[in-house]
Amino acid sequence: MFFRTDSSFNRDGFSIRGQASPAVLLLVGMLGLAGLFFGQFIATAPAAAPLVMVIALFVFGVAFFRMDLALVFVILAMLLSPEISAGAVGTRAIAIRIEDVLIVVLGIAWFAKASVLKGLEIIPHTSLNAFIGIYIGCFFISTFQGIITIGGNPFKAMFYALKYLEYFILFFLVAGTVRRRKTAVVFITALLITFFVVNVYAFTQIGTGRVSAPFEGPSGEPNTLGGYQVLMLCVTLGILCHASSKTLSVLLSLLALSCIWPFLHTLSRASYVALVPAYLALVFYCRTPRKIPLIMIMLLAVSVGLLFMPEPVKERLAYTFNAPAQAGITPVKIFGLTLDPSSSTRWLDWLRAFDYWKAAPFFGYGLAGVSFLDSQYVNNMIELGAFGFVSFALLVWFLHRQTIKVYRNIQDPLGKGLALGFAAGNIGMIVHALTANTFILIRIMEPYWLIAALIMVWPRIEALSQVNTGEAYGGSSTASAEEPVVRLSEKSTKRVRNVDMLLKDRNIDGT
C-alpha cells in the first residue's frame, strides 16, 4: 500500500478524520499545477480546446465515482477520437488526441480517489511494476542528461516523456480498477466493438489509396493501422480458440474476417511481415483442438492469397526489390537484392545512427534528443542508450513470459483466450517494431497496455471468483487433488477476502 488518509466512503458521501496524509498535499499541488497548465493551454490553444476541457472535467467527475465507466470512454476514444493542435516545438507540430487528455484526467481522478479512500492503492501491485519502474527511470535519466549535455529543448523532452508515461498510467488504471470478471468482459467487448468500427471505416477507404484509421489527417498512418489490426486480429482469434458458445464463435469469426481485406489495403509491408510470426505463435501456443483449423486456415490463406491477392498489394511487394533508382539515394543491396529507395534510406539511417550511439553508448541522448528513425530498437539505442534498451527488452520479455504463464495456469476460457491472443500479438509487435516505432504509437500501445493489464490481473479475478463461489471454472464446488484449481496461501486468502469486502461496496468498485 501507498499513502492513505484516515477516511471512509458511505452513502452520504465522504468523511475525513484526522490530518491529511502526504498524498492529499501532493494532490493539491498536482491540481494547482494542472490548473495553471490548462489555463495556459486554453488561452493559447484553438477554439475547440475549451470544449475539450469541459469534457475532461465531466470525465473527471465520472472517473472519481465510476472509473470503470470512464475507462470505457477511453477505449472507444483510442481509435475513434480526433486530435487537436497544441502548437509546435521548433518545426515539429504537437498534436494532442482526446484520449491523451482523458488518460491524464483519469490519472488525476485516480490519485484523488486514492487520497481520500481508505484501502485503495495509488499504484496497484503487478508482476511488471519493477520492470516498468526501471524503464521509466532510464528514460528520465537519459532525458535529463540529454538536456544538460546537448542542450535539448526541455518542453519537447517533457512532452515526449509524458507520452511515454501515458501508456503506463493506463496500465495501472486498468490494473487498479478491474476487480470483477464482469468489468473485464465490458472492457474486452468495448475493444472488439472499436476494432469492428475501425475495420468498417477502413473498408470504406478502399480504392482511395492506402487505408488508414479514422482521424489520422490527410496523409493517414497506414502502418499504424496495420500494426493495430495485427494485434487485435490475434486477440480475436485467441478468444475464438477458447470460445464455447456457438454464437460467440460466429461473431468472432465474422470480426476476424472483417479485418482481412482492409488490412491488405494498408499496403504496410511491416504489418504483412509481422502477421506471419504472430499467426505462427498463435498456432504454437494454442492448447485447444482448434489448433488444427488454425493450421488449415493458414494453408488455405496462402493458397488463395497467391491467386486472388489484390493488384495494389502485388505492386507494393514487388516495389521493395524492383523500384527504380532515385536521385540522391544510394541503393542498398542485401543478399544480392537491391532495396527500394525508402528501404535503402532507412538502412543508411540506421548505420549513421550507430555512429551517434557510440558517442553516448550508456544513456543515449534522451527522448526527442535526435530525430526519429523508423525502428523502435534503433530509436531506443539512440535515445536511451544501452541501459534503456536493455530495460525495454526486459520489460517486453517479462510481459511475454508472464502472459504465457497466465495462459497456462488460469482456467477461465475468456482469460485464456485473451492471453493466447495477446502472446501472439506481442510477437507480431516485436517484429513490427523492426521498421516502425511500434511501442510509442498511441493507436497501438493504448490497446496493447490495456490488454496487458487485464492479463496481469486475471489470476486475481479468478481467485476472487473462486473464493466467493467456492467453485473453479468448469468444475464443481468440491475440487479433487487432480483438478487445476488455484491454491491460495493463508496470507493470500486473507488479502483476497479483504479486497472482497471492498468489492461488495458498489460505490467503491463501481461495477
Segment 403-457, tens digit of pLDDT: 999 999 999 999 999 999 999 999 999 999 998 999 988 899 999 999 999 999 9
pLDDT score at 318: 80
Rounded Cα distance between 77 and 95, Å, is 15
Largest separation between any pair of C-alpha atoms in the chain:
75
**Amino acid identity at 107:** G
Q: Do 449 and 168 meet the contact criterion of CB atoms below 8 Å apart?
A: yes
Alpha carbon 66 to chain centroid, angstroms: 22
Q: What is the pLDDT of residues 231-241, one digit of tens each?
A: 999 999 999 99
E strands, 225-372, are 333-334, 337-338
pLDDT score at 405: 96
pLDDT score at 10: 39
pLDDT score at 352: 83
Which 8-state DSSP code applies to residue 209? Answer: S
More confident residue, 327 or 374: 374
More confident residue, 346 or 391: 391
pLDDT score at 392: 96
* E strand or H helix that includes residue 8: strand 7-10
Q: Which three cell numbers stand for residue 53?
A: 476541457
Helix (H/G/I), strand (E/B), else coil: 46: coil
More confident residue, 510 or 65: 65
Q: What is the pLDDT of residues 111-166, one digit of tens each?
A: 888 877 777 788 899 999 999 999 999 988 988 888 887 776 777 777 778 888 88
More confident residue, 90 or 387: 387
CA proximity to 216, closest of 163, 32, 207, 205 = 205
**Amino acid identity at 433:** A
Averaged pLDDT, 482-505 = 42
199 contacts: CB under 8 Å, gap ≥ 6: 229, 255, 258, 259, 262
Q: Which three cell numbers stand for residue 245?
A: 458458445
Residue 186 neighbours by CB distance under 10 Å: 18
How is 126-137 classified by DSSP, letter by letter?
Answer: -TTHHHHHHHHH
pLDDT score at 410: 94
Distances in Å between the alpha carbon of 88 and those of 40, 103, 143? 15, 22, 19
Distances in Å between the alpha carbon of 1 and those of 14, 114, 237, 270? 21, 10, 37, 42
Q: Which three cell numbers stand for residue 511?
A: 461495477
CA proximity to 239, closest of 247, 248, 226 = 248
pLDDT of 97 higher than 60? yes
| Percent of the chain at pLDDT exceeding 70 | 75
Q: What is the pLDDT of residues 115-125, one digit of tens each?
A: 777 777 888 99
Residue 300 neighbours by CB distance under 10 Å: 11
pLDDT of 462 higher than 80? yes
Residue 55 neighbours by CB distance under 10 Å: 15
Rounded Cα distance between 272 and 319, Å, is 14
Averaged pLDDT, 18-31 = 50
**In the predicted model, what is the mean pLDDT of the chain?**
79
Which 8-state DSSP code applies to residue 309? Answer: -
Rounded Cα distance between 463 and 448, Å, is 24
Q: What is the pLDDT of residues 386-415, one digit of tens each?
A: 999 999 999 999 999 999 999 999 999 999
pLDDT of 491 higher than 90? no
Rounded Cα distance between 107 and 144, Å, is 24
pLDDT score at 375: 86
Helix (H/G/I), strand (E/B), else coil: 437: coil
Averaged pLDDT, 60-71 = 89
E strands, 52-153, are 83-89, 92-97
E strands, 241-352, are 333-334, 337-338
Give me the residue label for grid cell 480517489: 113
Measured at the alpha carbon of residue 484, what is the angle toward residues 481 and 489, in degrees to the nearest 5?
80
pLDDT score at 421: 97
Q: What is the pLDDT of residues 250-278, one digit of tens each?
A: 999 999 999 999 999 999 999 999 999 99
Q: How confident is the model at residue 13 (pLDDT cuts 50, 70, 90)?
A: very low
500 contacts: CB under 8 Å, gap ≥ 6: 464, 467, 468
pLDDT of 32 higher than 70? no
Residue 43 neighbours by CB distance under 10 Å: 9
Which 8-state DSSP code applies to residue 37? Answer: H
Helix (H/G/I), strand (E/B), else coil: 36: helix
Residue 37 neighbours by CB distance under 10 Å: 11
475 contacts: CB under 8 Å, gap ≥ 6: 411, 483, 485
CB-based burial label for 179 (10 Å; 0-12, 13-18, 19+): buried
Phi, psi angles (nearest 5°) of residue 13: 120, -150
Q: How confident is the model at residue 38 (pLDDT cuts 50, 70, 90)?
A: low
pLDDT of 339 higher than 70? yes
pLDDT of 86 higher than 60? no
Phi, psi angles (nearest 5°) of residue 86: -115, 30
pLDDT score at 139: 86
pLDDT of 477 higher than 80? no
Rounded to a whole number, what is the distance in angstroms from the first to the last CA of the chain?
23
Alpha carbon 258 to chain centroid, angstroms: 22
Give me the residue label for grid cell 501532493: 26
Q: What is the pLDDT of residues 200-253, one digit of tens each?
A: 999 999 988 889 888 776 677 899 999 999 999 999 999 999 998 999 999 999
Q: How confident is the model at residue 191 (pLDDT cuts 50, 70, 90)?
A: very high
